[in-house]
Structure 1
C-alpha cells in the first residue's frame, strides 16, 4: 500500500468499519521494494541480474541464475521487518528452467552472503546457458505490505479470516507492487496462488518460516509463463546468518 492513511481512506469509501480497517493495518509489515527507478527518493542498494562475484572457494550452483545482489550496508535499517546482515552483499539465485517446485535446499546456494571486504571474482556462464539477466541498478523504497487471505497471518485465525473475507480487506490496497526487473525484501508474499508458508510462530510445526525475498520473471523456455520465486528461511537460521539453510519456492502462471 502507499500508506496506512490511503488504505484507510479507500476502505472507508467501501463502507468498511473502523475495527476491520484497524485489524488489517495491525497486520501490516514494512517491505523493501527494490526497482530500477530512483524516483521518490529511492536509495541505491544493489544490482539486478548480471554475473555473480564470489569469493574463492565459494561454489556457485550454475544451474541457478543470479537474480539480484543487495548491498546490506546501503539498506536503510528499517527497510523491512527482517534482521538482515548490516554489511556485505546478499546474492539471490533462482532456477529459470523449472518454474514449479518446493525444496528446502539447505545446500542449494540460492542465497549467498558475501562478507564485507572479502575479495571476489566474477564468475562466467557455462556453455549453452541462458544469457544472464541484463544488469541494472536497484533502488530501495519501503512500503507497508498486507497479507493475502490465504497467508499464515490470516488463514489459521477464524475471526481475522472472517473479517478479511467479509470486507475483502486483501483487495482494498490500490497500489500494485512493481515486479519487472525488481526484488522485494521482507513483508508478505504476493502470489497468483496460495502463498508459501510464512509467518508461523516458533511453536508451529511448520517451522517458523519467514519470507526473505521475492521476485517475478519470464521463463525463457516457456513463452507467456511468469515465474514467481520466493526465498524463505527459518527465523533462527536467519538470526544466525545461515543463508545456506534458505529454501526456494517457485510458482508459475500464464
Structure 2
C-alpha cells in the first residue's frame, strides 16, 4: 500500500474520541518522485548539480559528496515550511560516510553545470539523472509519538495494538519515499520535532512550549532506478532548527543518513 487512504485508516484503527487530535497532528509534505510523460518537472535527482561560479562541489575535505537532488523552489506548491518562493536547493550525500550537505542558491545567481570531480568519477559514485515531479501528501508522526500524545493512560491494550497496526499500514510503501517537508519517516531514531512553532498543533500538544529540536526539510530514500543507496535500504535526511528555518538561514542544515 503506497498511499493509503489516511482517513479510512484513521476511522478503522483509531478511537473516535482521538480523531480530532490525530487530524491536528497531520502535516502536508511533498512526495518527490520521478516525473512521467507530461508531468510538471520541479527539479531532478542525481546527475550533475548546477552551481554558481566560485562555489565548490561539497565534500568533507577528503572526498566529494554525491549529488542527490536539485529543486526549483518557484515550482513548488505552498507548504507550512515557508521556504523562499524562488531560488534553488541542492542536496548532496556521502554514501561512504554518514554526512552530506544542503545548499540554497537565491534567484539571480548564475548557475552552471559543475564538472564531475575526479574522485567521484573514478569510484563511479554518480546517481543517474532523473527528472522530478511532486504531489502534496499527508504525513504523520511516528507511532511512538502518536502513542505518547494521542492516547490516554487508561486506553485498553487493544487500542495500542490498533495504533501499531495503523502505523504499519501507513508507513508500508513499495517505492522510494522521497519527501520535502512534513514529518520524517525515520528508520533508527525518533528525533523529528515535527511541529512548527506558532502552529495550532504545537500550541495544542506542547502548551508549555515546544521542546528543542529540528524539523525535516527533505528526505531521500534508497532508489534503485537511479542507483541511489544509503547503506542497507537507508534514507538521507536534511533537518533544520526552526528558528533558522523561519529566518531562511540554511547555513546549519544537518544532513545524515540512517539505514536498517
Identify the TM-score tier after normalising by the shorter chain: 0.7 to 0.9
2:52 is the counterpart of 1:55: yes
Matches within 5 A, 1:1-254: 2=3, 6-14=5-13, 16-38=14-36, 43-62=40-59, 63-77=64-78, 80-99=79-98, 110-129=101-120, 130-151=124-145, 154=146, 157=149, 159=151, 165-168=160-163, 170-171=166-167, 173-174=169-170, 176-177=172-173, 179-180=175-176, 183-199=178-194, 203-204=209-210, 206=212, 208-217=213-222, 225-253=232-260
Contact 1:149 1:161 in 2 (8 A): no
Distance across 2 between alignment mates of 1:148 and 1:235: 19
Match of 2:136, SS state, is strand
Mind listing any 5+ residue stretches in structure 2 that lack a counterpart?
198-208
Contact 1:150–1:194 (CA under 8 A) maintained in structure 2: no
2:31 is paired with a residue whose SS is: strand
Structure richer in strand, relative to its length:
1
- Residue 252 of structure 1: how far off its partner (Å): 1.4
Determine the C-alpha separation between the residues in 1 that align with 2:251 and 2:174: 28
Deviation per CA, 1:3-38: give whole Å up to 9, x if none: 8xx333234345x42122333222110010110044
In 2, Cα distance between equivalents of 1:224 and 1:189? 18
- Structure 1, gaps ≥5 residues long: 102-107
TM superposition shift of 1:42 = 5.3
Is the 2:93–2:256 contact (alpha carbons within 8 Å) kept by the matching residues of 1?
no
| Closer, same or farther: CA 87–162 of 1 in aligned 2, 3 Å | farther
The structure where helix makes up a greater share of residues is: 2
Q: 1:42–1:140: 8 Å Cα contact kept in structure 2?
A: no
1:88 touches 1:114 (CA, 8 Å); kept in 2? yes
Q: 1:174 to 1:75 in 2, by over 3 A?
A: same
How much does 1:69 deviate?
0.5
After TM superposition, give the deviation of residue 59 of structure 1 in Å.
2.7
> What is the rounded CA distance, in whole Å, between the counterparts of 1:111 and 1:231 in structure 2?
7
Please give the per-residue CA displacement for 1:211-254, whole angstroms capped at 9, x wherever unaligned: 1000122798x99722211100011111222212100131112x
Shift in CA distance, 177/186, structure 1 to aligned 2, threshold 3 Å:
farther
